Chain A
Amino acid sequence: MPDQFSMLVYSFLGLPLAALVLFNLFGKRVMTKFYMPVGMGICLVQMLSAIVSLVLLSQYNKDAITFSQFWNYQLYEGASYFSPDTFSFLSLLCIGLVGLVTFLVAYPVLPDRRFQFCNVTLVLLLGMNGIALVYDLFSLYVFMEVTALSAFVLIALYRDAKGLEGSFKYLMMSAIASAFILTGLALIFLNTGSLQYDVVQAYLANWQNGPNPVLTQIGFIMLMSGFSIKAGVAPFHGWLPDAYQSAPAPVSIILGGIVTKMAGVYAIIRLVGEWLPGSSVVNVAFMFLGLLSIVLGAMSAIGSTDFKRVLAFSSISQIGYIVLGISSGSPLGFVGAVFHFFNHSVFKSTLFVNSAAVEMQTKTTLIDKLGGLHKQMPVTGTSNILAFLSTAGIPPLAGFWSKLLIIIAVWQAHGGVVAGVALFASIFTAVYFLMVQRKVFFGPCREEWKDVQEAKFSIRLASVLLSCITVGVGCVFPWILRFLGAQGWI
């Protein structure tokens, strides 16, 4: 691969960092105007770089692009460095997409806090990019903390009681997660002496014959529990609905769309999906976690009265599907989980964008207060239906395919009962979404919402863009599958 192309990867860390430094050096008054467009530009560049890198990887048949930020990593043995592979680039693409959408929505929604918002969001992007790029478990943890920390700040952006409470709950649970993760890492480090991916992978491949298998196992479970807290997998999900609900609208988008996934699901996919595909212990444990998340998330969503809270519980449910897909331990389940990761970023962002649109126009997200908005907000309503259908797994939308792959893989791995429960729960998905759609958008228009306007252009642009991706990916998915089959991945 030509060296100039491998420079691309520097943009993932370099651009947001440069923007941060540049904008904070100059006065706030001058730069506020340009900050959001620049943020959008950075996200666009990130998406492009990710796509180009993905193409390059498949062109040159390489597994990963390895680089280090400041020094030549090859000088020191065991040094931490960056080595993104295909899954990393896919994650980076999602991060760019959701970041772009967040900026698009934040532009009209947060006119008074643009500067702070951009600062922290760029740090958040940096943190997530770091998670995707690193090649060392401890570095992963460090960037996870970066992500979490900036997420706390973003949730409490307005310093209102609600936001602070949500943020603080997230903080508390994150602290527990940190403790779990660090304990787990320590127990693994005890046996390996290094936390680099390849070392840990090699160790995990044969951990039962290594020293201290019991401790390693407990360490691994602690590690996974920590990641599960970050990901919001049931029963570690408690903070998630409160945090999502209390965050400002654009922050909910980036939180629901990508942050919890990068902070937790990414690591779960890496560790369980990639390194421990055959471990029955971990697989069964995650099967339970996945099923619990799916059912509990869906059930809780049905009883929720707040649009954003429904979406939060739905996130738990959908992350359950990803975890369940990984727990199958088969390449098919892995691919399904990765695609559900992508799809969930897209459609959950769409839904949060729409909730932001509704919140901005009506100043409320309580389902019972809303009604009949479809006439006034046709673009929002339509993209909402598409996202709902995709979430519920209705063909030919993107969500259908990833759910199909997951359920097939689960069927093969765990049998019909588990797959049946997963399938049955997706009926619940349809139920609560139809409920929301009916109460918020359909039906007769309420008197107080007669004068509601359609959302601002940039919000509409965001939801149309995401809906197009949902439909487009759904339509070309058979070719993607064929490509994957040709590559020998499934």
Chain B
Amino acid sequence: MLDLIASFISSGLGVNLLYTMIVIPSVLALLVLLMPKAKVSFRNLLFLLALLLNAALSLGLLKLDDMKLYLPWAGGEMGINFALRVYNFSQQIIVIAAFVALLVGLFALSYLRKKSYSSAFLFYYLITVALVNGSLLANNLVVMLFFWEALLAVLFGMLILENRNDTRAAVKALVLNGIADLLLMLGIIITCSLAGTPLMSEMRPIPLEGVAVLGFICMMLGALGKAGAMPFHSWIPDAAKDAPLPFMAIMPGALEKLLGTYLMVRTCFDFYQLAPGSSMSTLIMVIGAVTLVLGGAMALIQKEMKKLLSFHAISQVGYIVLAVGTALPVGYVGALFHMVNNALFKSSLFLSAGAIESRTGTTDLREISGLGRFMPLTAISTILCALSIAGMPPFNGFFSKELIFDAALETGMVFYIAALVGAFMTAASFLKLCHAAFFGPVKLPEGINREELKDAPGAMLLPMLALAGTCLLFGVYNKLPLSYIQALFGSFTAGSDFSGWPHSMTLVLISLAVLLVAVLNHLIGYHVTGQGVKAVDHIHYAPGLRTLYDAAEKHYFDPYRIFMAVVRLYSWICLAIDRGISWIYDVLFVNIVGFVSSVLHVFNNGSTRLYMAWAFSGVIFLILLSMLLR
């Protein structure tokens, strides 16, 4: 089958495939949007067809070697030419993206059945797919930036779908991502001028010195912003409250992480020479570690499933950033592997939340309990993914985390400890989540009848289980993804094999010990409070931490909030200056003119005597002046 598609592609139509990846989802998106309301099933079919085609074409791409498309557009060598390129790096990410998009899309159809905005959502969804394909395929940094920025618009559109009256979360996302994109634009300008070409395939890694550092930081910040690492993370938990869950699953859960990681790795590896142990490397690792620990810490105390998951979406990026920052072969491989794994289990977890929400109407863990007996398959899928994300062997998360631990340890003990703390928090919070949601005494929100509560429909379960199954597959048979990933780096990773069981048994044991601590912690917490949902309350309300957590819950540490406060201060200052200038013009100036005018009118009162005095004084002035000047 694949061979068939590949031969079909390479026989003349091949070059066109590159932009077919962008055009087909876009065109079908328009069709989906324009489909009349009565033809819902046909619309859904069209939507699925688009995703299937996308997935099939992406598989077809996998068979291609390095292939480029070059359409001259504006300007010459440094200009904005529409350049696409497919090669092994983009191939793999596109395949993962298409696969996740297909499954989440299937779920979305079922989830959105009763929502009024379904057509718009599906339209945005397909456009997102097209833009993600475009970003990954673009061979010109400027063209990539175009797709990248367009994603921001779609993101905003999707965020305001559910709650059009309160756009604060959407605006927050727009501002944070906008800043990141602005930095990216700056970075792209610097990078292009340093490299002498906007074409990525033509670039050679630039040593990190002088302006290049600035360019590198800007590029990385742009990528971090897309991936949702600190300090660009804070919109995700806000968005989780209102945004449709398929959106959470596909955008912050999967696609944005893919894009962000893609650009991060390319920046560090292809555009610039990030040396292990350099200050830049340390900086990125610090960002990663902070994201990882703080995201995990915030996730730990959440009692609302969607928020908990979204903090984990932040925390897992921390792992990836940490790994990329090491600039070691094992780091890069671990980062990419974790990126793939994260896309799988995080989207699946969000889908589980969606399934629970569509059945019970809530995802607040304080209101639901013991769902396992009603929704067994959802429970199984969730637990599988939770095990993955917690890093339990033999799931994929275990293997990618082991690689990252390895890289972190090689760079510095601090980072390794940070990673372990993150792992502990992840495990603890998911123990809490699974325990609270699926076990224990049955507790349902009001209005939900026990008898009528069923497991999620097949269209929801299928994607969830498929993703969970893939998690297990990539864990057990991790050679499959790792061999592909390792191939990306060519000679850089030659000589070492990262697949199979981790090499260092010590590290494995330590990881397992951390997991054990998490379990013990959970048991203690459960024993103390008697409720799964309160299993980590002893950490939450520990002396000192409690204050910090309260402050964090009130968004005191939100970079957006701080940024906005600065912006408000700035705008207040600007306003004050503006008012001052206006005052000078409107009040001071007018008053001075009015005063002078009235004084002049006093001196022009109709008295001839006074006029004569004016005239005589004028003559005297002139005579004195001329005497002085002589």
Contacts and interface: CB of A to CB of B under 8 A. Distances in A.
B619 A225 contact: yes
A222 B621 CA distance: 11
Q: Shortest 3 CB-CB distances between A and B: which pairs?
A: A238-B611, A303-B597, A235-B618
Interface of A: 165, 168-169, 172-173, 176, 180, 217-218, 221-222, 224-225, 228-229, 234-239, 241-242, 280-282, 284-285, 288-289, 296, 299-300, 302-304, 428
Interface string B586-612: 000000011011101100101010111
A241 B604 contact: yes
20 contacts: A165-B606, A172-B611, A180-B619, A225-B615, A225-B618, A225-B619, A234-B618, A235-B614, A235-B615, A235-B618, A236-B614, A236-B618, A238-B611, A280-B629, A281-B630, A285-B622, A299-B596, A300-B604, A302-B593, A303-B594
Q: Most chain-B CB neighbours within 10 Å: which of A180, A241, A284, A303?
A: A303
Contacts of A236: 614-615, 618
Contacts of A428: 593
Nearest to B594: A303
B600 A303 contact: yes
B617 interface: yes
A72 B593 CA distance: 58
A229 B618 CA distance: 10
A224 B621 CA distance: 13
Contacts of A237: 614
Given A168-B608, A302-B597, A304-B601, 10 more contacts: A173-B615, A176-B615, A221-B622, A235-B617, A235-B621, A238-B604, A239-B611, A242-B606, A284-B629, A299-B600
B413 interface: no
Contact of A284 (B597, B608, B625): B625
A232 B220 CA distance: 72
Contacts of B598: 303
Main secondary structure of the interface of B (DSSP, over half): helix
Nearest to B616: A176
Given A222-B619, A300-B597, A285 B611 contact: no
B441 to A, nearest CB: 77
B615 A229 contact: yes
B626 interface: yes
Contact of A303 (B601, B614, B621, B625): B601
A222 to B, nearest CB: 7
A302 B600 CA distance: 10
Contacts of A302: 593-594, 597
A376 to B, nearest CB: 30
Given A221-B626, A284-B625, A173 B619 contact: no
B618 A228 contact: yes
B623 interface: yes
B625 A288 contact: yes
B629 A225 contact: no
A218 B614 contact: no
Contacts of B618: 225, 228, 234-236, 289
Contacts of B625: 281, 284-285, 288
Contact of B612 (A172, A284, A289, A300): A172
B612 A176 contact: yes
Nearest to B592: A299
Contact of A299 (B597, B610, B611): B597
Contacts of A218: 623
A70 B622 CA distance: 40
A303 B623 CA distance: 31
A234 B618 CA distance: 8
A285 B626 contact: yes
A172 B614 CA distance: 13
Contacts of B623: 218, 221
A221 B630 CA distance: 13
Contacts of B621: 235, 288
B623 to A, nearest CB: 5
Contacts of B594: 302-303
Contacts of B622: 221, 224-225, 285, 289
A235 B625 CA distance: 15
Q: Most chain-B CB neighbours within 10 Å: which of A165, A225, A241, A284?
A: A225
Contacts of B617: 235
Interface in B191-229: none
Interface string B4-26: 00000000000000000000000
A281 B626 CA distance: 6
A235 B611 CA distance: 8
B318 to A, nearest CB: 59
B626 A169 contact: no
B601 A300 contact: yes
Contact of B630 (A217, A225, A229, A300): A217
Contacts of B629: 280-281, 284-285
Contacts of A176: 612, 615
Contacts of A224: 622
A395 B303 CA distance: 70
Given A169-B608, A281-B626, A285-B625, A299 B593 contact: yes
Contact of A300 (B600, B611, B614, B619): B600
Nearest to B625: A285
B46 to A, nearest CB: 60
A343 B605 CA distance: 30
Contacts of B611: 169, 172-173, 238-239
A234 B593 CA distance: 18
A227 to B, nearest CB: 12
Contacts of B619: 180, 221-222, 225
Contacts of A169: 606, 608, 611
A299 to B, nearest CB: 5
Interface in B561-608: 593-594, 596-598, 600-601, 604, 606, 608
Nearest to B589: A431
Contacts of A299: 593, 596-597, 600
Interface string B503-538: 000000000000000000000000000000000000
Nearest to A236: B615
Contacts of B604: 238, 241, 300
Contacts of A304: 601
A172 B610 CA distance: 12
A387 to B, nearest CB: 22
A265 B97 CA distance: 85
Given A221-B622, A285-B622, A285-B625, A238 B615 contact: yes
Nearest to A218: B623
B100 to A, nearest CB: 64
Contacts of B626: 217, 221, 281-282, 285
Contacts of B612: 172-173, 176, 238
A364 B489 CA distance: 91
B213 to A, nearest CB: 44
Contacts of A300: 597, 600-601, 604
Given A169-B608, A222-B619, A225-B622, A238 B593 contact: no
A304 B594 CA distance: 10
A307 B495 CA distance: 96
Contacts of B606: 165, 169, 242
Interface string B132-170: 000000000000000000000000000000000000000
A187 B256 CA distance: 94
Contacts of A238: 604, 608, 610-612, 614-615
A289 B297 CA distance: 78
Contacts of A168: 608
Contacts of A225: 615, 618-619, 622
A269 B354 CA distance: 90
A338 B121 CA distance: 73
A304 B623 CA distance: 32
A234 B606 CA distance: 15
A173 B621 CA distance: 18
B587 to A, nearest CB: 15
Contacts of A303: 594, 597-598, 600-601
